[in-house]
Amino acid sequence: MKTKIAVAVAVVSVVWSVSCAVAQNNKPWIVGQVVPLTGPVATVGVRVDQSTQMWVEQVNAAGGIRGRKVQLINCNDENRPERAVACARDMIEKGASIILGNTLTASIRAIQPLTRQGPIFIIASPNVVPAPSTYDFQVSPSDEVITEAIADFMQANGKPYPLARVYYRYEVESSTEGGLPIRKRWDVVLEPSTPNLNGTPCAIVALNEAQ
């Protein structure tokens, strides 16, 4: 009798485990998006949101990710950091696997303390460089990279540019292990190097940290 009861309990346990696994596999991936849909920068937020919606539709139409659909949770932070924090907290409570920080720098900085240990936080702002020990990832080229690309393009193409000298200032902000921001400003000067009939290639002639 005891043997039959033990076997019955074992069977129920196996069935329960399989049922839970199937239910888990059917649950959608929750992706949160913090984005300004109203206010002075809504024109940026709306365009980004349209791209995100297209991505979700394409992924789900193709069967999802590992057989699980993507469920997008949108939250309008109105370009207000305190609102962005409330959005992120709600997404974390709902079990978001990824939070898309498609908002401005101030809101992104406000969210960062909440995501140091997860979930994954995708940062769209080029002005925030997260610490390597966090779950935050920057996906935009920094101003430094953009400046170098401009100089390389001008030098490679040799097009006639009307400006003899281009002055550019960019700002880089990174986070220390303690989460404190380090902000540096750099002055860049692009000017003609070897004028010729085909154009004026340019090169970086000055790169100085601004005071």
122 and 153: one domain?
no
- Choosing from 107, 122, 138, the residue where a domain stops is 138
In a domain, 18, yes or no: no
Q: Under 8 Å CB-to-CB from 209, ≥6 apart: which residues? A: 184, 185, 186, 187
pLDDT of residue 125: 84
Q: What is the pTM of this model?
A: 0.64
Question: Which of residues 90, 120, 138 is at a domain's end?
Answer: 138
**Do 104 and 46 belong to one domain?**
yes
Which of 120, 138, 156 delimits the end of a domain?
138
> Domain total for the chain?
2
In a domain, residue 122? The reply is yes
- Of 147, 150, 88, nearest to 120 by C-alpha is 88
pLDDT digits over 16-64, tens only? 444 444 445 689 999 999 999 999 899 999 999 999 999 999 999 999 9
Q: What count of other Cβ atoms lies within 10 Å of the Cβ of residue 63?
A: 10
Examine the domain organization and report whether 171 and 125 are in the same domain. no
Kindly state whether residue 15 falls inside one of the protein's structural domains. Answer: no
In tens, the pLDDT along 104-134 reads 999 999 999 999 899 999 998 888 888 888 9
Residues 54-101 have pLDDT tens digits of 999 999 999 999 999 999 999 999 999 999 999 999 999 999 999 999
Whether residues 116 and 181 share a domain: the answer is: no
Q: At CA 125, angle to CA 181 and CA 155, rounded to 5?
A: 105
pLDDT band at 153 (very low <50, low <70, confident <90, very high): confident
Shared domain for 162 and 186, answered yes or no, is yes
Domain membership of residue 72 as a residue range: 28-138
